[in-house]
Chain A
């Protein structure tokens, strides 16, 4: 039997997992996007010239 208190406790356990998976997916997307748009000739950074 599920007590009224059990649901929020389960939710609070699940939230870090969801956030962790979300972060991994987000950063994996960023890495893929970088690789997809990578140019052979590295573009210069503006401020390195200053």
Chain B
């Protein structure tokens, strides 16, 4: 899918060389055209239309400040972006859970509501929402200058290497690169190609191999503790190599165009505590959650534990409209809150001596690995697996 499809390789074989031979004055327009073709191919008109509408509105609202009563245009636009994401991603989930609650209260649920099917979510809607919310917030709250050139905004919105699944770009770092587009030198180009090959290797040879072993372990009828442990470890490596491979390819393709996009992973499984893990895992998302959810909630200043659990709950729910993702998020939020408390109450706990570091690594890795069971399996299955872990 996407980077692994033959269509994409044919597209890249045209898009990148033409970009390189394009005169500098035309590179921006070629990049936008190529990204639009990519977007159209993978999202189709139905997937592209809502994104184009949201992009035009975001671009306009940032440029022209206006108010509607007590609400600023930015606040309304952010509400619209989050509303669109909620409608597409969580519409069915909210209806299902809402109808259960309403039925429990003894109210008859209309048949049309139970039969309602939410439309398919446009490709990459989460990532568009993150980038647009970040853009509006930075312009209005931090007073950054908005993007005036619509072609710059267009490339920022639909840049093809990062369109579907990030890394989530920050416009103050990305857009200035568009004002002077140049070809990469040989070293940078070779670096980009190497990164793409590494990404392919991680996805095709490691993540997919993990999937095959996971399927073998899942077929074992009696899930004993070693089987559950193997499943948790394999799922952890699978998701890491899958998404790190994807990120390598996205960063590599951007590099072949001489553009820099944020990193997403830095050896997360070497972390010795959860804070460090979240600074190394899906870094463009975790920094987004920190800047636009955790800090506006109060950050470290007030109700730190609650803010951590709430931010991670939303982070979990973002991964999918199902309770196991929400529980996974709260599991990590609670872990982070307890760790913060432990740091304050037991000062020597995270000492920089090797026995401490080894124990801290083992605890952190075990915590994260168990969490992958919550991420990948329904809660009922995880309850059975957890029982198997403790009853040998």
Given contacts A27-B194, A50-B126, contact A34 B243 (CB under 8 A): no
B239 touches A42 (CB 8 A): no
Chain B's nearest CB lies how many Å from the CB of A47?
A: 4
Answer whether A44 and B165 are a contact pair too, CB < 8 Å, given A34-B205, A50-B318, A50-B320. no
Task: With a 10 A CB-CB cut-off, give which of A30, A31, A47, A49 has the most chain B CB atoms.
Answer: A47
Interface size class of A (residues with CB under 8 A): 10 to 19
Q: Is A13 an interface residue (CB 8 A)?
A: no
Residue of B nearest to A28 (CB): B197
Given contacts A34-B201, A50-B320, contact A43 B211 (CB under 8 A): yes
User: How many angstroms between the C-alpha atoms of A44 and B4 in the bound complex?
Assistant: 8
Given A30-B201, A39-B208, A46-B1 contact (CB < 8 Å): no
- A contacts, CB < 8 Å to B: 23, 27, 30-31, 33-34, 37-39, 42-50
The dominant DSSP class at the B interface is helix
Cα–Cα, bound, A33→B207 (Å)? 13
Option from B5, B164, B205 in Cβ contact (under 8 Å) with A37 = B205
Q: Mark B199-229, 1 if CB is under 8 A from A, else 0.
A: 0110111001101000000000000000000
**CB closest residue in chain A, given B42:** A48
- A27–B320 Cα distance when bound, in Å, is 36
One of B165, B198, B208, B243 near A43 (C-beta < 8 A)? B208
Q: Is the Cβ of B197 less than 8 Å from the Cβ of A44? A: no
Query: Are A34 and B204 in contact (CB-based, < 8 A)?
Result: yes
> Is A45 in contact with B197, judged by CB distance below 8 angstroms?
no
B residues apposed to A, CB below 8 Å = 1-5, 123-124, 126, 164-166, 194, 197-198, 200-201, 203-205, 208-209, 211, 239, 242-243, 245-246, 318-320
CB distance from B93 to the nearest CB of A (A): 14
Complex formed: what's the CA distance from A31 to B204 in Å? 10
Cβ A48 vs Cβ B197 within 8 A: no
Q: How far is the CA of A27 from the CA of B242 in the complex (A)?
A: 19
Which residues of B have CB within 8 Å of A34?
Answer: 197, 200-201, 204-205
Asked if residues B1 and A48 are in contact (CB atoms below 8 Å), the reply is yes
A15 to B200, CA, bound (A): 28
Measured between alpha carbons, how far is A4 from B314 in the docked complex, in Å?
Answer: 65
Shortest beta-carbon distance from A48 to chain B in Å: 5
Cα(A47)–Cα(B320), bound, Å: 10
Cα distance, A30 to B3, chains bound together (Å): 17
Query: In whole angstroms, how far apart are the Cα atoms of A46 and B245 in the complex?
Result: 11
Partner of A45, one of B198, B242, B320: B242
Known A-B contacts A33-B205, A47-B165; A42 and B243 likewise in contact (beta carbons under 8 Å): no
A42 to B208, CA, bound (A): 11
* Contact, CB under 8 Å: A37 / B2: no
14 more contacts with CB within 8 A, not counting A43-B1, A45-B4, are A27-B197, A30-B201, A33-B204, A34-B201, A38-B204, A42-B1, A42-B5, A43-B203, A45-B243, A47-B246, A48-B123, A50-B126, A50-B165, A50-B318
Q: Are B204 and A44 in contact (CB under 8 A)?
A: no
B204: chain A residues at CB < 8 Å are 33-34, 37-39
Please give, as numbers and ranges, the residues of chain B lying within 8 Å of A46 by CB-CB distance: 239, 242-243
B277 CB to nearest chain A CB (Å): 17
